[in-house]
Amino acid sequence: MHKAQSTPIIRANILATVVNELVQRGIDVDSLLRDHVERFRRTQDPYQEVPLHQYIAFFEAAAEAANEPALGAWMGARFLPEKLGPVGVVFVAASSLRIAFNRLGSFLLAWQTGTRLGLEVDGDLANWTYQIDDRAIFPRRQDAEFSLSATCSFIRVLLGAQWAPVEVHFEHQLPRRNSKKILAALRTIFRAPVLFDQCLNRLVIEARDLDRQVLPAQRAIAPYLEQHLRDLVANRSIEGTFASRVTHLIAKRLGNSSFDISDAARELGLSRRTLQRKLASESTSFREIVRIHRAQMAEAMLTTGAAPVTAIAHHVGYGDATAFSRAFKSWHKSSPRAFRSVRDANRNVRRLMP
């Protein structure tokens, strides 16, 4: 068994895409790199690994430096599959969108770790989700908007330029500053309703699109690239702990439907007892993972967003605000409203500081 990797990474060619965008805009990119990314040279190997948290921080700073609040979304709209390397090429070489999504989910680990993708079909709709595991990597709005926008660009290569999702969901709040500009950009790019303060970043699409006939593509090279990506994945550490995999499943289900350890075990292809043993070997349990995830999500939504407490209660899996408030007090020794009041007071103090 491989040793689990401690620091999530992303390949340098993705960072280089942001760097090149700034260079074209006449931004002093070298100073930004010095501030946020260690040991990165613009001419380095595209396979070089960059810590994911440094890339995310750089992307946020890049949007500020470029004075473009929707930088990630606009970049994603222009992002060609080949810029993602072999992963992008095998995506658009697929014979259906379902196969393309399966390939992307299988091979992401070769290009970016600490991140989960998922496809779920629910009747006439399907959800394609994108989520960074570590909630401490925040803010991460630019990356989320870039990733979903780029995914739309890839889908349009397969299904045609007129394709659009049913809805687009983001975990972050719509920023108050430049909110109209950001929302206008996102609606132009996605051509669909855009929702914020959601449980996950996701594209909601019509399930029938998964098996539609796709546009002709050059598929001869795909088997060779798939083998190359399998080799990269094989040399990578195992795909996270069972705790992180369960956390991702919980994130997708809380607030939507009941979800217990039996459901999680079934999705992971394990028996309930086997999953319990594996989580115990990682010094945790399903109940503890649910508790931690609820606490972290609630704190994040109260800290960064303006959603009503009742809506937050629903997002984290509680039927009413009373039960949520009782649980929140056990986590933070204060009510959700008191927690938010302290946040607002701290913001006002910082705003008044010279």
Identify the CATH number of the domain in which residue 333 sits. 1.10.10.60
Among 209-218, 263-272, 331-340, the least confident range: 209-218
Average pLDDT score over residue span 279-288? 93
- pLDDT higher than threshold 50 for residue 2: no
Q: Check whether residue 225 and residue 89 sit in a common domain.
A: yes
Say which DSSP state 202 is in.
Answer: E
Q: Check whether residue 214 and residue 246 sit in a common domain.
A: no
- pLDDT higher than threshold 80 for residue 42: no
- Burial group, residue 23, by CB count within 10 angstroms (0-12, 13-18, 19+): middle
Q: Check whether residue 220 and residue 280 sit in a common domain.
A: no
Does the residue 189 lie in any domain?
yes
Domains: count for the chain: 2
Query: pLDDT digit string (tens) for 77-132?
Result: 999 998 888 999 889 889 999 999 999 988 988 899 989 899 999 899 999 999 99
Q: Check whether residue 126 and residue 260 sit in a common domain.
A: no
3-state SS record for 99-140 = HHHHHHHHHHHHCECCEEEEEEEECCEEEEEEEECCCCCCCC
> Distance (Å, rounded) from C-alpha 78 to C-alpha 188?
13
Domain that holds residue 310: 242-352
Q: Check whether residue 128 and residue 218 sit in a common domain.
A: yes
Please give the pLDDT value at position 170.
96
Please give the pLDDT value at position 35.
93
Residue pair 149/192 in contact (Cβ under 8 Å)? The answer is no
Please give the pLDDT value at position 354.
52
What's the whole-model pTM score? 0.79
Q: Check whether residue 219 and residue 315 sit in a common domain.
A: no
Q: Check whether residue 137 and residue 167 sit in a common domain.
A: yes
Structure tokens at 287: 């109940």
Q: Check whether residue 196 and residue 249 sit in a common domain.
A: no
Does the residue 5 lie in any domain?
no
- Last residue in a domain, options 201, 230, 259: 230
- pLDDT higher than threshold 60 for residue 177: yes
Percent of all residues in the chain with a pLDDT value above 70, rounded to a whole number: 86
Does the residue 44 lie in any domain?
no
Q: Check whether residue 163 and residue 259 sit in a common domain.
A: no
Q: Check whether residue 200 and residue 348 sit in a common domain.
A: no
Q: Check whether residue 272 and residue 167 sit in a common domain.
A: no
- Last residue in a domain, options 196, 230, 264: 230
Percent of all residues in the chain with a pLDDT value above 90, rounded to a whole number: 52
Does the residue 45 lie in any domain?
no
- Last residue in a domain, options 169, 203, 230: 230
Q: Check whether residue 275 and residue 191 sit in a common domain.
A: no
3-state SS record for 207-233 = HHHHHCCCCCCCCCCHHHHHHHHHHHH
Does the residue 12 lie in any domain?
no
> Distance (Å, rounded) from C-alpha 128 to C-alpha 148?
9
Cα dist from 42 to 37, 46, 81, 282, whole Å: 12, 9, 20, 39
Does the residue 237 lie in any domain?
no
Does the residue 198 lie in any domain?
yes
Residue pair 301/308 in contact (Cβ under 8 Å)? The answer is no
Query: pLDDT digit string (tens) for 139-168?
Result: 999 999 999 999 999 999 999 999 999 999
- pLDDT higher than threshold 70 for residue 44: no
Please give the pLDDT value at position 1.
35
- pLDDT higher than threshold 70 for residue 256: no
Query: pLDDT digit string (tens) for 187-214?
Result: 999 999 999 988 889 999 999 999 998 8
Does the residue 337 lie in any domain?
yes
Query: pLDDT digit string (tens) for 228-254?
Result: 777 777 666 545 678 888 887 887 777
| Most confident among 148-157, 255-264, 338-347 (mean pLDDT) | 148-157
